């Protein structure tokens, strides 16, 4: 979105209303974080979305905590913004077509890390206005301050961590920066590749300057909507793959369902997020994993 388009979009959403949306997103992210920290002290109940008799191919774990957090968030949103809709990872409820605002929520991104006690997981909340990311709040188990907390921002605002502005520091002596990628990529494009197991954490870390870039191969919308809002607010770039190659993300376009109705829940395009120019991101990370 260019500066003129962003300005128009900001005026389309009343500033106090957008501020209320961001505050609510932060409250919900903190609520999720509190539930996650409480659950870490007990024995977790875990199921798998894909179950096989062959143990090696069990995948996509879901804990009872995921379900509980999403239910809490849905209940809070129904009271705070009854006119808004929500897409959550765990409950297969499609948003209505006539709602301007849609919240995309992943109660725990990085559940495999979470259930194994590996401290790289997040709770991510993104808010879309007619498909455009306008606010995000991501509770991360780790941060640039070496503690858990919420990265948050809204359209035209400032990236913050727990309410304080984040100013990424650039060290000119560091010649090779980090990029978050899926498993299977070797170091390329001048970056050292890292795989964390959480798209939300990688997006938040790009916004905060801990990672210079991140590539996501066809993520779900709830994994990246909040992170896209943070990166854009921090002055970064979000590139999306389409039929004609890579282009700056303007909005999340809902694909049509079988009945011809658009459905944001089934959005799935590859994304690159970064703090360098879009052509640099695409040339370095734009090729799919072999």
- Report the binding-site residues: 89, 106, 108-109, 223
- CA-CA distance, 233 to 134, in Å (whole number)? 9
Angle at 101 between CA 224 and CA 148, to 5 degrees: 40
For the chain, the C-alpha Rg in angstroms (whole number) is 18
- CA-CA distance, 236 to 151, in Å (whole number)? 15
Contact in structure between 111 and 96 (CB atoms under 8 Å) = no
Q: Give, rounded to a whole angstrom, the gap between the first and last alpha carbons of the chain.
A: 31
CA dihedral 223, 225, 229, 232 (to 10 degrees): 80
Nearest to 290 by CA among 132, 159, 180, 183: 183
Annotated binding site for Mg(2+): 89, 106, 108-109, 223
- CA-CA distance, 57 to 141, in Å (whole number)? 27
As given in the structure block, the two tokens for residue 262 are: 């658009």
In terms of phi and psi (left: phi > 0; alpha: psi -120 to 50; beta: otherwise), the region of 249 is beta
- CA-CA distance, 134 to 230, in Å (whole number)? 9
Angle at 121 between CA 120 and CA 125, to 5 degrees: 145
Q: What is the bridge-based pairing of β-strands 177-180 and 191-194?
A: parallel
- CA-CA distance, 12 to 251, in Å (whole number)? 15
């Amino acid at each position: 979105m260019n500066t003129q388009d962003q300005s128009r979009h900001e005026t389309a959403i009343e500033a106090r209303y957008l501020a209320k949306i961001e505050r609510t997103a932060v409250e919900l992210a903190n609520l999720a974080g509190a539930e996650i920290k409480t659950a870490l002290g007990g024995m977790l109940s875990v199921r798998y979305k894909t179950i096989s008799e062959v143990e090696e191919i069990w995948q996509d774990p879901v804990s009872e905590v995921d379900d509980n957090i999403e239910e809490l968030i849905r209940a809070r949103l129904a009271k705070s913004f009854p006119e808004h809709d929500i897409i959550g990872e765990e409950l297969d409820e499609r948003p209505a077509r006539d709602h301007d605002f849609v919240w995309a929520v992943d109660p725990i991104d990085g559940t495999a890390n979470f259930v194994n006690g590996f401290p790289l997981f997040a709770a991510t909340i993104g808010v879309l206005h007619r498909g455009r990311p306008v606010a995000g709040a991501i509770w991360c188990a780790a941060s640039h301050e070496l503690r858990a907390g919420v990265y948050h921002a809204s359209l035209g605002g400032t990236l913050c961590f727990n309410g304080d502005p984040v100013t990424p520091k650039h060290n000119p002596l560091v010649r090779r920066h980090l990029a978050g990628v899926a498993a299977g990529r070797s170091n390329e494009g001048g970056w050292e590749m890292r795989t964390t197991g959480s798209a939300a954490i990688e997006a938040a870390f790009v916004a905060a300057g801990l990672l210079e870039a991140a590539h996501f191969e066809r993520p779900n919308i709830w994994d990246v909507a909040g992170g896209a809002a943070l990166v854009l607010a921090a002055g970064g770039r979000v590139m999306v793959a389409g039929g004609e190659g890579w282009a700056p993300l303007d909005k999340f376009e809902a694909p049509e369902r079988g009945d011809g109705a658009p459905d944001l829940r089934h959005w799935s395009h590859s994304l690159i997020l970064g703090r360098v120019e879009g052509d640099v991101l695409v040339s370095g990370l734009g090729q799919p994993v072999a």
